[in-house]
Every structure is written in structure tokens, then in C-alpha cells.
Amino acid sequence: MSGRLLCFYGTECIHCKKMYPLMEKLEKELKIKITKLETWHNSQNATLLKKLDTIDCGGVPFFFNEKTKEAICGSMSYTKLKKWATK
């Protein structure tokens, strides 16, 4: 799989915290790495998020697949997260 899987999050974001166990499960199951980029306290990451957010998510958690250029956002099921990661 070429291209990174990115997760933009906020340190204090409760929705992001709900996604952490699902991301860990996905990384272990697929033997992949999701690059996590904090946006609430890092202006460079926040700028990158705005650039990649072509679906008008407007917040975190925001996921971007560099290989497929597909973005998804918000809390979601493991099935949806895995489908996004494996396209």
C-alpha cells in the first residue's frame, strides 16, 4: 500500500478518543500505520487539514488516505474505518 493513512485529531476531542481503540485494532489487524496529526495545538497540522478537507468536514477526527485521496470524518464504525483504509 503506497501513501499514508492520516488521522487528524484534537488532544481534548472526545470523538477522537473514541476512535483510538478502533485505529489501534486496524493497525494490528492490517499491519499498517496510521499517522496521527494533532491539529488543536499544532498550526502546521491544522493548515494541512484545511487543505485536505475537500468534503467540508470542518473538524476532527478527520481521516485522509493519501493513496486514494479519500477523506472521511467523525466517529464511525470499525467497518467503515477499515473500508476507507483498504481501498
Domains in the chain (CATH in brackets) are 5-86 (3.40.30.10)
Asked if 34 contacts 3 with a C-beta cutoff of 8 angstroms, the reply is no
Give the pLDDT confidence of 10-24 residue by residue, as tens digits: 999 999 999 999 999
Give the pLDDT confidence of 49-85 residue by residue, as tens digits: 999 999 999 999 999 999 999 999 999 999 999 999 9
Asked if 39 contacts 45 with a C-beta cutoff of 8 angstroms, the reply is yes
Neighbour count for residue 14 (Cβ, 10 Å): 8
Q: Is the pLDDT of residue 87 over 90?
A: no
Band (pLDDT 50/70/90 cuts) for residue 1 is very low
Looking at residue 31, its pLDDT comes to 94
